Chain A
C-alpha cells in the first residue's frame, strides 16, 4: 500500500501542489491528470524517491520510503519520460540488463516478450535505429515480465499507436486484478473498469498566492 501524507512540491521557488494526500491500495489504478506544467512528473519523481518533497512524507507498507529505499525499489517499476534504454545496445540486451538489475528473480524469455510487444524481427537491431514508437515499446516491454506490485508510469502512451494502447490498458487491468497497483499519467481517457479506477486531478494554483 502506498500512502502520501501532506505532500508539498516546490520547483524554482514556486509551489506546484501542496497538502496532497492520497492512498493507493492493491487492485487500484490511479490516473493522474492535469494540464501541462502542473507537476505530474514532479509528483512521480517524489513517489519514486528521485527527488525529496519540500514537506510531507511518502509511505510504502507503513515505512517512509527514504528509510527503506532498497526494499521499496524491489516492489517498484518506474517508467519515466526518458526511456532508460541504451541506444547502442539491442532490444534483447536492454531487456536482459533491466531484468538483471531490477527483477533478478524473474525468468525472462526475451523473444516471447518482444513478440508480445510487437517487435518480433527487431531483436538484434540497436535501439537507436528503431522508431520512436518502437523504442517506447521496448521500454514498456518491462511491464510484461516485471514481478513488482507497484507500477508508476509517466506518460507511457507517448508515440504508441491505438492498438498498442489497448494492449497496455488490458495489461494494466490484469495487473490490478492480480492485486497490483498502478499510478499512470496520460492525457488520453483510460478504458478500465470503474471498480479499479481512481482519479487524481491536479489543478494549477493561482500564481501570485503560491510563491514561497
Chain B
C-alpha cells in the first residue's frame, strides 16, 4: 500500500519534471503578481510592509487556483485516473499521493521563494517567520480543498470557472486566519491561537478531504 503511494507520487513528480511548464507556470505567476505590486504602488517601505502579507497570500491563493486544473484533468483525459480508481487499494489513500505531489509541485516552490519576496517587500524577520508558518500550514489546506473541487468538476468540459466558484468560499477562511495571524505578529501580539486554528483546519482537511475527493471522483467519472 505504501509502495503504491510512493509510485503514484514518483510518477506525478517525474511527469511534471518532464513537462517543466507545469511546475513553472504557477510559481512564475506568483512571483510576477508579488513583484508587480511595489512597481504599481510605489516603494514606500512602511506601506509595502503593511500590505505584504495580504499580497503574498492572495498571490499564493490565485497561483494554487491556477494549478488545480492539472491535478486530475490530465489523468482523466489519458485514462490513468480510471486505472487508479480500479487499483486494489483504497482510493482515498491513492488520492493522498496525488495531493502530496500537487503540494510538492506548487506549495513547496511558493514556500521556497517567499523569503526572497519578503525582503523585496521589506517585511521584518519576525513577521516573515509567521508568514512562512501560515504558508506552511495553509498551502496544504488549499491543495486538499482544491482537490475536492477538481474531483467534482473533472468530468465537465469547461470546468475552470465552476472550480473557482466551488473553491473560493472554502479557501477564504484560510486567507482570513493567515493574514490575521501575520497582522497580530506585526503588532507584537500573540498569534499562536490563530496558528492553532489554521492547524486545526489542516488536521480536519487531511482527515476528511481524501474521503470527499474519492467519493467525488466516483461520482464524476461514472
Return the chain A residue nearest B221 by Cβ. A50
Of A49, A81, A101, the residue contacting B8 (CB under 8 A) is A101
Pick 18 A–B contacts, CB within 8 A, sort by A.
Answer: A50-B86, A50-B221, A50-B222, A51-B221, A52-B222, A73-B86, A73-B88, A83-B78, A83-B79, A84-B83, A85-B80, A86-B80, A87-B78, A88-B14, A89-B11, A101-B83, A101-B84, A101-B87
Q: Are A82 and B4 in contact (CB under 8 A)?
A: no
Which residues of B in the span 76-104 have a Cβ within 8 Å of any Cβ on A?
Answer: 77-80, 82-90
Q: Quick one: given A89-B11, A93-B14, A100-B3, are A49 and B86 in contact (CB under 8 Å)? A: yes
A89 adjacent to B3 (CB under 8 Å): no
Structural contact, A78 and B3, CB atoms closer than 8 A: no
Q: Is B45 on the interface with A (CB-CB < 8 A)?
A: no
Give the contacting residue for A70; candidates B18, B78, B79, B90; CB below 8 A.
B90
Please indicate the chain B residues that have their CB under 8 angstroms from the CB of A87 in the complex.
Answer: 78
Chain A residues within an 8 Å CB radius of B78: 82-87
List B170-222 residues whose CB lies under 8 Å from chain A: 221-222
Given the known interface contacts A50-B82, A87-B78, A126-B18, the answer about A101 and B7 at a Cβ–Cβ threshold of 8 Å is yes
Tell me if A98 counts as interface (CB < 8 A to partner B): yes
Interface residue? A76 (CB, 8 A): yes
How far is it, in angstroms, between the C-alpha of A85 and the C-alpha of B87 when the chains are bound? 15
| Candidate in A51, A76, A82 with the most chain B CB atoms within 10 angstroms | A82
CB nearest neighbor in B for A81: B79
Supposing A89-B14, A126-B18 touch, asked if A70 and B7 sit within 8 A by C-beta, the answer is no
- Chain B residues within 8 Å of A104, by CB: 3-4
- The number of residues on chain B lying at the interface, defined by a beta carbon within 8 Å of a beta carbon of chain A, is 24
Cα A76 to Cα B82 in complex, Å, equals 13
Mark B residues whose CB is within 8 Å of A.
3-4, 7-8, 11, 14-15, 18-19, 77-80, 82-90, 221-222
Q: Does A74 contact B (CB under 8 A)?
A: yes
Question: A residues engaging B (CB < 8 A)?
Answer: 45, 48-52, 70-71, 73-74, 76, 78, 80-89, 93, 96-98, 100-102, 104, 126
Shortest beta-carbon distance, B24 to chain A, in Å?
15
Question: Are B19 and A101 neighbours in the complex by a CB distance under 8 Å?
Answer: no
**Could you say which of B7, B15, B85 contacts A100, with CB atoms under 8 Å apart?**
B7
Which residues on B sit within 8 Å (CB–CB) of A71? 88
B4 touches A101 (CB 8 A): yes
Q: Which residues of B contact A80 (CB under 8 A)?
A: 79, 82
Complex: how many Å from CA A125 to CA B89? 29
* Nearest CB on A from B134, distance (A): 34
Contacts of A74 in B (CB 8 A): 88
**9 tightest CB-CB pairs across the interface, nearest first?**
A82-B79, A51-B222, A84-B79, A84-B83, A74-B88, A88-B18, A100-B7, A73-B88, A101-B87
